[in-house]
Structure 1
Amino acid sequence: MSFIRITKQFTFETGHALYGYDGKCRNVHGHSYKLSVTVIGEPISDKNHVKYGMVIDFTDLKVIVKEEVVDQFDHATVFNQNTPHVELAKELEQRGHHVILVDYQPTSENMVIDFAQRIKNRLPQNIKLLSLRLQETESSYAEWFATDNE
């Protein structure tokens, strides 16, 4: 049997601020993120299996990524929990905003590392996360590859 890669794409809107940064991104702002999730595995060869011929049902992959990433980060504002932005986060939460405090600077690079761990923890044992691509703008993205992180 052959190993096959499949990719599912997702979009979500998230705000963030980069505390201590020397450019415009130190201000609270948002992005329309595009996340591409690529997994690898062998297509199911059991002709009697309801998912015959699939590596993983795209719907099953969608459920995992939506629950672990999209539903949590969509229309949220992300701040590093170890910065003065925590005061702003508290104010926003009191006003009914969805705020996520993370233990890292919420750059695309660090977010894609976080997302990789969240997704890997939920995949079936026979399916491996191969790569993630988190596109922040039309011309900027961060990528995570399993082969770089073994």
Structure 2
Amino acid sequence: MNKIDISSTAIEKGIDLVGGFLEKLAGSPLEEAGLLLADKLRTRRLKNQIKIFSEAKKIAEENNISIKQINLKTLIPLLEFSSLEEDETLQQKWSNLIVNFSDANEKYESSIYPSILSQLSRNEVLELDRIKDTESIEVKEFQISGIDILI
């Protein structure tokens, strides 16, 4: 009777022999799980972009804004960063920023604004809005992300 070698080396060789074959038949479970997760993330980002750009289109139409092409140095960060935003308040800011950059009557040249907006939290944006809406200029103290700011 023939002996079957069941040493760990033999088992490893067996796994190596059939592993590739099984992977071809069924696909790598980890790879499939990773692709599924990537698809879900792409879908979420696409939904964010659709919402933001739909709002930008609406703003432009309501204000009779002529649209111009945005240069790639600005457009790519706008697309990338805005797609990550799920907060409605910040999505509105992204829509406004897109309209400002695409307004044919405006001359926004700086591509830094998408980067700045991408780093702000909802609370920071609301605080900046509050400051902007304050009619009188007076010394105020407030906190953003735990940092005391005196203006």
Pick the TM interval, shorter chain: under 0.3
Task: Please give the TM-score of this superposition, normalised by the length of structure 2.
Answer: 0.27
More helix by share: 2
Task: Please give the TM-score of this superposition, normalised by the length of structure 1.
Answer: 0.27
Higher relative contact order (CA 8 A, sep 6+): 1
More strand by share: 1
